[in-house]
Structure 1
C-alpha cells in the first residue's frame, strides 16, 4: 500500500484544453518537473514544499496531448540531491529528454560525468527565498569548475530585483547562462522596469545568455489575464530570437491562486512566435543548440 503525503502546494490542472496551435515536429517543452512517485523516488526530508505526485507518465500523457516530442526535465528542490527520478526519465526517454541538475557541495566530478552520459546538460541555482539561501560566489565557482568541462549551462532562477545583482556577475561565469521564467520580476506598468532593461541588455551584449520564455502565469500582473506577460515574452524574443526557448513549467510547483491550463499556455505561443519560422526557431532549433539535442532524436 502506498504511503500518502499531505501536499503543501496544489497539483496541476488535470484537464488541459486541446491547443488550437499545431506544434512542429520535435517541439521542445524546455522547462518541466516530475515529482515522484514518492514511494519509488522519495522526497527530500529537508524539502521546503511537498507536491502531489506527478510522475513521468503524467508528463508523457500531457505532452502527447499537447504535441511535444522533447522536454528539459529540471531537478526539483523537493527531491533535493537525489536525482533518481530525473535519471530514470532520461534513460526511458532515449534521447528525447535533457536534464538540469542541482549540484551541491557533495556532488563529485565522477557524478557529473555519469549524469552527462545520462543526458544532464545544465546545473540550476536559485535566488528565490522560498527555495532556501542563494549560492555564494564560491559555491557558483565550484559548480562552474565541475560542469564547465562538459559544456553544461547554468540555469539561473532569479526572482524580483535579484536579476540586477546577478547581472553584475555574468562576466565572471564562463558558461552558457539560461534565465528561467523571463527573470520572474514585477512587470506592473506602475513601477520602474530596471529588471526588464537589464535582461534585454544581457541578451544583446552576451552571446552566452539565454532566456526561457516560461512562467507567464507567474509574472502576469492580473492573472488569469496573461497579456502583459505574453507581451514581455514577445519583446524578449524579438530582442534576441536566437537565444530564447519556451516551456510550460508543468506541473507548476508552488503556484497558489491561479493555476494555468497547459493547453492555454501553448496557445500563448501565437502571440510570442506568430510565424511558422519563428515557432520552429523557438521550439526546435534553439533547444537543439541550447540543450544539445540530436537533430533527429
Structure 2
C-alpha cells in the first residue's frame, strides 16, 4: 500500500522550465534524492516526515530535461538507513549516477562493498536536529574509519549556529568532507557575519573540506529569484573554485514556503559562477574528480 504523504507536503514542480543557461557537456547534478516509490521502497518507521513518491524515473526525466549528464543521489532521511531506493536508482543509471548512503554501526563490511559496487561513494552525517535524532560523534567516527578504506568521503549536514561546536569533530575526520548547502547560513545577517566567516575559515584551514553551493530556495529570505543568497554562494565559489559542487536538491524535501522551478534554479548558476571556467569546475571537473575517479 502506498504511504500517504503529509497533508502539508509540497510536491515537486510538475513542469519546470527549460533553462536559459546551457549547462556544459557532462554537467553533474551533485545533490538530489529519490523518495520511494512506496510500497516498493517503504519509508522508514522512524522518519520525521512522509513525502510524496518521487522515484528514479522522474529524476532521470528531470536530468535529461535540464541538460545534466549525471546525478549524485543522496540518501533521504525519510528512508533512514535503508538505502535500497537510492542504490536501485544508481544501479538503474549505470555509470551515470553515484550515491551517498546513510549507515549505522550495524552495517557490515559486505554491505559496504555491495553499496560500493552499486555506485555509492560517500556517507552522510546529519546533525540537523529537526530531521534526525542525535547520534554520538564517536559513532560517526567509527563509521568514518571504515568507509575511508573504500576511498569514500563524508557529506555533513548542519546549520550555521552549530558549526562552532562541530569544528573539532570535522577537523578530526580522516577523509574528504563535503558540507551541504554552505552550512545553511542565515542570509539576513550578511556575508560578513561571524557565522559565515567561520565557515569560510574552516574551508580555508582544511583543504579536505568542500561545499555544496546549493539550495538558494531553502536559504532565501526573499524568495525567487533568490538574489539574497547569491553573495554567499559566489564568495564560496570565488575562494574555493576547486572544492565546490552544485545540485538541484530535487525533489526539495520539507519545503514550506514554495516549490522551486528546477529550470529557474539552473539559471541561477551563472550568478554564482560567472565565467565558463568556474562553471566547468563547479559542474563537471569537481564532481567527476570526487565521484567518478
**TMscore range, shorter length:** over 0.9
1:44 deviation in Å? 1.0
- The CA deviation string for residues 211-232 of structure 1, in whole angstroms up to 9 with x for no partner, is 0011111111211241121221
Which residue pairs with 1:265 in the alignment? Answer: 265
1:7 aligns to what? Answer: 6
Structure 1 equivalent of residue 42 of structure 2: 42
Scaled by the length of structure 1, the TM-score of the pair is 0.94
Q: Residue 235 of structure 1 aligns with which residue?
A: 235
In 2: Cα distance, 1:54 partner to 1:41 partner: 11
Answer with 19-28 or 7-16: which moved more.
7-16
Q: Mean alpha-carbon deviation: is it higher for 247-256 or for 156-165?
A: 156-165
1:193 equivalent in structure 2: 193
Contact 1:237 1:244 in 2 (8 A): yes
CA contact (8 A) 2:63 2:69 kept: yes
Query: What is the CA-CA distance between 1:192 and the residue it aligns to?
Result: 7.0
The equivalent of 2:131 in structure 1 is 131
- Separation in 2 of the partners of 1:17 and 1:274? 21
Question: Could you tell me how far apart the structure 1 residues matched to 2:161 and 2:102 are?
Answer: 23
- Deviation (angstroms), 1:165: 1.5
1: CA distance, partners of 2:30 / 2:218: 16
What value does the CA root-mean-square deviation take over the aligned residues? 1.5
Q: State the match for 1:30 in structure 2.
A: 30
Question: Which runs of no fewer than 5 residues in structure 2 stay unpaired?
Answer: none
What is the CA distance between 1:191 and its match in structure 2?
9.7
Q: Which residue of 2 aligns with 1:218?
A: 218
What are the superposed Cα offsets for residues 66-94 of structure 1, whole Å, 9 maximum, x if unpaired?
00011110111111121111111111111
Q: What corresponds to 1:287 in structure 2?
A: 287
After TM superposition, the structure 1 = structure 2 runs for residues 1-297 of structure 1, keeping only pairs within 5 Å, are: 3-8=2-7, 9-189=9-189, 193-291=193-291, 293=292
For residues 195 and 156 of structure 2, the distance between their equivalents in structure 1, rounded to whole angstroms, comes to 14
| Structure 2 Cα separation of the partners of residues 102 and 271 of structure 1 | 32
- SS for the counterpart of 1:161 is helix
> Tell me, which stretches of 5 or more residues in structure 1 are unaligned?
none
Deviation at 1:54, TM superposition (A): 0.4
SS at 2:222 equivalent? coil
> How far 1:285 moved relative to its partner?
0.2
Superposed displacement of residue 127, structure 1: 1.2
Q: How many Å separate the matches in 1 of 2:93 and 2:275?
A: 29
Given that 1:224 and 1:258 are in contact with CA atoms closer than 8 Å, whether structure 2 keeps it comes out as no
Match of 1:154, SS state, is strand
* Distance in 2 (alpha carbons) for counterparts of 1:205 and 1:177: 13
